[in-house]
Amino acid sequence: MSHLEDLIAEYYDWSGYLVKQNLKVGKLSHGGWEMELDVVAFHPETKRLVHIEPSIDADSWAERERRFRKKFESGERYMFSDVFKWQDPSTPVERIAVLVSHPEDRDELCGAKIISIDEFMQIVKADIMHCGKVASNAIPERYPLLRTIQFTIQGYYKCLG
């Protein structure tokens, strides 16, 4: 598990999603697994189903295309048989690739929306800002990364801004 994967999983769980992380799917007959899915999340109220694959690689776009295609296709193949078995298989799966950067001329990677780490952190920060100071509305202890961010940007008693 990576720190970024943990933060993404915490954020989606905190946002009301049912989250599964680092799932091995596609058991191979000779042992091992076809793929590991980093983060998958389902929101029971909105029925939104998201497969998120973060990466801090410095690979070429061709190499990224190869790796992410395999990850997202495995996700689609096993989402309803191994991950969310109870979910309607016609539910669309939204793909998100969280990358170090988001080039101006590229918004997708293998059918996944590209979000840079900085863009993701802006979303997280904005949502945490709405919580206010820790003293008045602390993020629960079970989200240590999000709570640390809340302490950092909101402070305990006074906003650190």
Which domains are delineated in the chain? Answer: 3-130 (3.40.1350.10), 131-161 (no CATH)
Structure-token pair, residue 142: 């079970």
Please tell me the predicted confidence (pLDDT) of residue 8.
Answer: 97
Give CA–CA dist 150/125, Å, rounded: 8
Q: What is the pLDDT of residue 161?
A: 57
- Locate 148 and state its tokens: 């640390």
Residue 78, CA atoms < 13 Å, CB-side half-sphere: 20
Q: Which is nearest to 94 in space by CA: 78, 72, 117?
A: 72
DSSP category for residue 138: P
Burial class of residue 71 in the structure, from the number of CB atoms within 10 Å of its CB (0-12 exposed, 13-18 middle, 19+ buried): buried
pLDDT values of the chain reduced to their tens digit, one per residue, 161 residues: 589 999 999 999 999 999 999 998 888 889 888 889 999 999 999 999 999 999 998 888 899 999 999 999 988 888 898 889 888 888 999 999 999 998 899 999 999 999 999 999 999 999 999 988 888 899 999 999 999 999 998 888 876 65
Asked whether 131 and 150 are in contact (CB, 8 A), the reply is yes
Q: How far apart are the first and last CA of the chain?
A: 30
pLDDT of residue 103: 87
The DSSP bridge pattern shows strands 49-54 and 93-99 to be parallel
Q: Give the Cβ contact number of residue 152 at 10 Å.
A: 11
The predicted model scores a pTM of: 0.91
